[in-house]
Structure formats: structure tokens, C-alpha cells
Chain A
Amino acid sequence: MAKILEKLKTREDFMAFCRANSHRLDRRKGKEDGKHTIAVCSSSGCHASGSESVYDMFKAEIEKQGAQDLIDLDINGCFGFCEKGPICKVYPEDTFYIQVKPEDAAEIVKSIVEKSKPVEKNLYTNPATGEKIANQEEIPFYKKQKRIALRNCGLVNPTSLGDYLANGGFKGFLRVLFDLTPEEAIEEMKEAGLRGRGGAGFPTYLKWDICRKSPGETKYLICNADEGDPGAFMDRSIMEGDPYSVVEGMMSAAKIIGANHGVVYIRAEYPLAVERLSSAIEELKKVGLLGKNILGSPFSFDIEIKYGAGAFVCGEETALIKSAEGDRGEPTVKPPFPAQKGLFGKPSNVNNVETFANVPYIYGHGPEAFNKIGSEKSKGTKVFALAGKVNNVGLVEVPMGTSLREIIYDIGGGIKNGKEFKAVQTGGPSGGCIPSSLIDTPIDYEHLSAIGSMMGSGGMIVMDEDNCMVAIAKFYLTFTVDESCGKCTPCRVGNKRLLEILTKIVEGNGTEEDLEDLENLSLVIEDTALCGLGQSSPNPVLSTLRYFRDEYEAHVNQKICPSHECKALAKYAIDPAKCIGCTKCARNCPVNAIHPTDKPAKNPKLFIHKIDEATCIKCGTCANNCPVKAISL
């Protein structure tokens, strides 16, 4: 970054600062200057698969091969293709390397030094054609994506303000600060059609307008970075990979609303996101983009980071506010809404991380650029955390209205191990399971709630034929019961009862009546719980009952689990045609439930074995030990 000796005090200072940084992404955008950059992904996903040692090894190799003048080593934010991590990119060639191990560094550096072809071994292989693909854009996972919220993720060094500026950063904020009145800015947001990405899809412009018009001198702007859905990681990736865009979004919103204090409420389990956000805030303070009288304008703004302990309910805005005040994280009755009476009783505006990340794009490119993407009532794009039984797991950003089929098959590469697609769960613990028959549903707020699920934060968990839908409902209820704050009875007691019934069913003790009870109790909880957690907690039960009732019935009537997932309903059996009578199963059975029959096996001296169902504890040891795979469920 160009040295700054003094703070930026005017718009002109800032423009000069931008010009001084405008070249910074040239090489990353393909411009040749005789040198190369190796950028290693430095987000949590790739860290977990070892990208830090890959970085160190590149450093050592560049020195060893004397390429310091030829190759710059840098870091990148999340590419979203976490399953194939650690991911590295080489610019300006734009070579996309996957699953890079420390020992691969030597060869990659060598290929750059010797100007030879990319190292094949670390290129993505198209599973359909077997062909190697070197460019990110050519990889099917990326082809149908449209990156707005993630526009900088994987492109910039997330710790570099200069990189952020070089990709148009703060252009939008500058307009909001100097060129637009708050009314005009809100009008633009209305035209853009942005809706909250934190779950409910409330129109962003309207929320801002209410808070702006709320009487009061002091107002707060809050960024909800709690990300409580276990299976969603887009907010974390955005904060790790592009922290400046979240901060810029907050700055624009604060200016429009008239807030001078910002709070980021972030879960303490996200240490890297906290580090990146904090350093972005520090850097902006240093150059004078945060603080008093920003760029000589009357607008002053500072941002503070508050830590959450990872309770799911603290993602709910009123509970979040309580927790940020230092109280127990319990929700309060709305109204009053936070826009009227929020943090410390002052009008407050809460938006989600991804919502904020869209804001700089909208003000930087104009509302039409955003509005033309998406479906009729849901504009722009949405980031999904695609996970579960799909081939390509990772972050996926697509225009609203893209069908589930496109996401799961075209981008996700279909179901793992050639299994059959059964359902996809969206919306996390508040959402529902969507069956394969609805795979052509376009994904937007309206369509998802029409089929009994919801957008939620954008978690998208794909399930195959081996997943039991009753067990999934139980899994979510276990989560809800753990996470209920206990303030209201329907949620505290009702969900516990739901979980007990579900447990009874998966353990093989369910009755027809239980199914009715499940349904009725779910509806009562939905209607009577205090906050969104309780009101939506029965969704996993109701949606599975609606689309997979036959599975519930199989559990209660025939006492079988069609997907063989529920252990208590499992029946291990030895296939007499396959059994060779080796006695290995009988010797390994911990409860002595396996005995020889009088039927001889292939070798007439040995006998075919049989499992005594009454004694069997369904541990599966026999099946694991059988040398001829004669034992199965």
C-alpha cells in the first residue's frame, strides 16, 4: 500500500488514495507484467486442510529456487470450493490448483520458473469427461454462479485495503456520503429490492427507513454475525475473505439511518473472522475512513466488536441486543421492534453480514445492476452453503430463482457415490426438508415458504437414500431443545415433548397416535412460541411428516427404518447363500448372539450361522468382521 503519512481528510484525498492503489489487482485480473503471484487460500476451511503449511512451503521453495524476484507470495479469501482445499491460484495465468499439499509446492514453483505447463496433478478433473481444467471459470462448480456478495472472496487479499479499493471498494459509500440524500439512498435501496439475508427476507430499505424516522439522537447500527445455523458458513467466509465490504455496507447504512455507533455481534468461535474484521476496522481508523468527520463530512462513525458465546437464540435480533447489552441472551416480545427501541433502548437497525456485503455493490453499481438479477420478488443473488451428500461441497452464490436441480446437479455435481437423491434441507433448524419431487422449485423466499421450508441463512444440506427423515427431524429437535433459552413454555416444554416422541419412534416404540400428537403439538408450538426460534422449530418435523409420512409409518407400523439408519430398528441377518461358516462373526459377537445352524456351508465341515434376533444388540461388529460380506441390514 502507498505510504500514508496523514489521514485522508477530503474526498479529493480519498480519490488520490484510490488512484495510488488502482493497479493492485492488475496481475490478479490477468495483466502480464513479467512476474507472477501465488495466492494461497487463507480461510478456515482451507486452514483446516492444511493451507498454512502449504504457504510456508511455497515461501521456502521460492527462496530455494531463487525466484524471489519472479514470484510474489500472497493470500486469498475463500474460493468457496472448500472440499477441494487447500486451494491456490497462480496469476496472471489464472491457474486454479486444488488439494495442494506442502510437497506439491516445489513442482508448482518450478513450473512457473521454467514457464512450463501447469502441474496436472493438482488441477481439477471434470468427473464427467475426465478432462483436466486449469481455469476457475471453466469448472462446472463455478459456471452457473454469479458472485455479488462474494465478489471479492478469492480475488483479493482480505487484509489489504488497497486490494479492496482496486476492485471498486468504497465507491458506493462515497456516493452515499456526498452525493445522495438519505431519502435518495433509501429510494435506491428500494429500487434495488434487497431483502434481508439473515433469514426472514425483510425489505432492507423499509427497515432502514423506519429506523431513520424513529425519533432520537443516538441510534445504533448492528451487524448480526452470529451465524448460528450448524451447517452454514457464508457469513464467516465473507468476513474472512472480504471484511472491508461488510464494514463499507455498515458505513453506508449508518450514514443513511443517522447512526454514529456500529456494533458487530460475532460468535467467539470465529477467531479468524474476528481477526480480519478487527484489522479492517483498525486500518480504516488509521486512514480516517472511520472516526470523526469522515473525509471532512459531518458524518462520524465508529465500530465496536462484541462477542457472542455461540448460542443459536442470540442470532435472533432481540436476544442479540439483550446479549450485547450484557444481559442473558433471551428474546423479547415485538413490538417494540429494534428500530423503535433497540440497543440500550435506542432505535437500532440489525442486518445480517451478507445483507451488508451486498450494499457496496448496490450503491457502487446502481440499483438496476442488482434489480435485474433474480426473480420477481426476490432480487439479487443468495449465497448457499451446499453440504451433505453432494459431490461438490462449498459456498455457492446464485441468482435468486435458480432451481434446486441446478444447484445440486450442475453446481454440486450430483449425489455422492452415485446414490439416489432423497431430500434437501434448507433454512437450518428453522427450515424444512424438500423432497426430490420438488427439485425443480426455483429458490427464492416465496417458493421456499410455499413448500414448507424457508431461506433461513442459506444452509443447504443434501440427503441421499441412506438418510432417515425421522432421524433428521430428531437431529434438528435435539438441536432446538439444546438451544432453547427456556423463556417461554411452548418452546421449552413443547420441543422437549416433540423430541421425546421422535426418540420413541426411532427406537421402535412409536404408535400411529404419536404421529398425530407430533403434528398437533407442532402446530401449537408454532402458534404460541415467543420468538422465531420456537415458532419455526417444528418446521423440520412438519415438513418431513408432510413429504415423508410413509417413512414415519414404516417406523411405527412395520417397525422398520427404510433407510437402515435407525439402529434400534436394524435387523442384521446372515445371507445363507454367502455364509462360508468361518465362525468369525460368532467369535466376535460381544453378546454371543450368533450360533451355527445344522446346515453345512460350502465346506461341509463348517456350518452356516444364524443371528438370534432377541439377543442381538445391533452393534454391527459381525457385519464389519465378515470376510465375505454375508451380513447386512
Chain B
Amino acid sequence: MKKSGKFVIRVCLGTACYVRGAEKILHKFQETLGIKEGETTSDGLYTLETVRCVGACGLAPVVQVNGKTYGNCTLESVQQILEENK
């Protein structure tokens, strides 16, 4: 078992989210944090994961951080989400 970060970021890759560009959001997180899916930043702050459908398809694309759901995400939301959770 690896220790996960203080904030576990889960990018939903369910179909509804995928169609609305969830993969781009995942890439943006990867780029910004410099880690891949399943990894944790070296400062132990963030873990990046993907999930298959959290059932909030109406809000797609969706990102969850420690259980809190962020809906209608855009590339700009990535920075905001990281700002809000640090």
C-alpha cells in the first residue's frame, strides 16, 4: 500500500464525462502536478486518480477531491480546484 496524498483528486472518466472532455482535464492535472494517474506528488499533497462514473452525469465533467464534487469543470477549473485544496 502506498500512502496517498492529503488531497485525493479523482477525475471521473465515465462516458458522460469523457464525452465532455474529462480526458483533457486529466491531462491538465497531470501536467500541472507533474504526476501520472495513481501517483502522489513528492510533497505528499496530491494524489491523482481516475474513477468510472460517480453518477453525477448531469454535472459532467466532474472531479472529486476528498469526496467533494466539482461539476462542470473546465481547464481553468484545474487551477481553482488546486488553489482551493492546499
What residues make up the interface of A, taking CB atoms closer than 8 Å to B? 44-45, 48-49, 81-85, 229-231, 233, 236, 269-270, 310, 385, 387-389, 393-394, 425, 428, 459, 461-463, 467, 472, 475-476, 479, 619, 624
Contacts and interface: CB of A to CB of B under 8 A. Distances in A.
Nearest to A463: B19
Contact of A230 (B15, B59, B71): B15
B69 interface: yes
B71 A48 contact: yes
Given A49-B56, A388-B60, A463-B19, 17 more contacts: A44-B55, A45-B56, A48-B56, A48-B62, A49-B69, A81-B58, A85-B59, A231-B53, A233-B55, A310-B52, A385-B16, A388-B19, A459-B15, A462-B19, A475-B15, A479-B52, A624-B75
A559 to B, nearest CB: 21
30 contacts: A48-B54, A48-B59, A48-B71, A49-B56, A49-B59, A82-B59, A230-B13, A230-B15, A230-B52, A231-B14, A231-B15, A231-B53, A231-B57, A233-B53, A233-B55, A236-B55, A269-B54, A310-B52, A385-B16, A387-B15, A387-B58, A388-B15, A388-B16, A388-B60, A393-B57, A394-B58, A461-B15, A461-B16, A461-B19, A476-B15
B36 interface: no
A385 B57 contact: yes
Nearest to A47: B69
B71 A49 contact: yes
Interface of B: 13-16, 18-20, 31, 52-60, 62, 69, 71, 75
Contacts of B54: 48, 269
B57 A233 contact: yes
A220 B15 CA distance: 34
A366 B55 CA distance: 33
Contacts of A425: 15
Contacts of B56: 44-45, 48-49, 82
A309 to B, nearest CB: 12
Contact of B16 (A48, A49, A387, A476): A387
A45 B59 contact: yes
A82 to B, nearest CB: 3
Contacts, number: 82
Contact of A45 (B15, B52, B55): B55
Top 6 A-B residue pairs of the complex, sorted by shortest distance between their CB atoms? A82-B58, A231-B15, A387-B16, A230-B53, A230-B14, A48-B69
A interface, by DSSP: helix, strand, loop or mixed? mixed
A45 B75 CA distance: 22
Nearest to A393: B58
Interface centre among A49, A387, A389, A479 (most CB of B within 10 A): A387
Nearest to B64: A48
A385 B15 CA distance: 11
Contacts of B20: 388-389
Nearest to A231: B15
A428 B19 contact: no
B18 A387 contact: no
A394 B55 CA distance: 11
A270 B71 CA distance: 18
A459 B55 CA distance: 12
A33 B73 CA distance: 43
Nearest to A272: B55
